Structure 1
Amino acid sequence: MTVDCAVIQRETPAPERPHRRTEGPVRTCVGCRKRELAVDLLRVVAVSNGNGHCALTVDQAGNLPGRGAWLHPDDRCLQAAFRRRAFGRALRITGSPDTSAVVEYVRAQTGAD
């Protein structure tokens, strides 16, 4: 009986890539369309004024009812979301909502940094 002593070639493992943090849900910013952890983004919800119009508000606690749109607390992402009309699409509302509360919140956050 003869045995062929061929060398077994094994695959070398791929080089380690740095892993992204995965400690929670991942959401997409409506402004820049980049994916981030939900804790790094602002949740924005539409609240009805009662007369058929909506106003956007920042959901700091994360417990307001309804659909949420996620946004980086950055003025560039906010402007991109306005330019793309992303809030209406993400929140599934018609018309242009009052965005003053979100603008004030983002400007206060970027001024504090």
Structure 2
Amino acid sequence: MEPVRTCVGCRARATRSSLLRVVSRNIVPQGQVLVVDETATLPGRGAWLHPSLECFHTAVTRRAFGRALRAEGTLDTTTLENRLNGTVNP
């Protein structure tokens, strides 16, 4: 049986394979940036999210990423939003 996780956006439970694991990385010029953990092996706390813009916007509105990741300050969500939109970073 596959592990079940909760989406930080809609709070619905789903199988781990249907969600994206998101972690916070401290990148010097930008500060703390949310990145997708493709292999679910990066160190640190992770937040799970449905790969949809609706869940993403709900999570941002609720400030769920900061709570789930126990992050201090603001998180740059641009990289994650671009990934969900299907756009490539410059």
Unaligned ranges ≥5, structure 1:
1-22
TM-score (norm 1): 0.72
Kindly report which structure 2 residues correspond to 1:19-30, keeping only aligned pairs within 5 A, or say none: 23-30=1-8
Kindly report which structure 2 residues correspond to 1:29-48, keeping only aligned pairs within 5 A, or say none: 29-48=7-26
Amino acid at match of 2:20: L
- 2:81 aligns with 103
Amino acid at match of 1:104: N
Of structures 1 and 2, the larger Rg is shown by: 1
Amino acid at match of 2:53: D
- 2:59 aligns with 81
1:51: how far off?
A: 6.7
TM-score (norm 2): 0.90
- 2:69 aligns with 91
Which has the larger strand fraction? Answer: 2
Aligned residue for 2:86, secondary structure, equals helix
- 1:65 aligns with 43
2:27 to 49, 52, 60: 49
Aligned residues: 87
Deviations along 1:25-83, one digit per CA (max 9) or x if unpaired, are 11000000000001100000000124793110000111111100000001100000000
Q: Write the distance in 2 (CA, Å) between the matches of 1:51 and 1:99.
A: 14
Percent of counterpart pairs with the same letter? 48
CA RMSD of aligned residues (A): 1.7
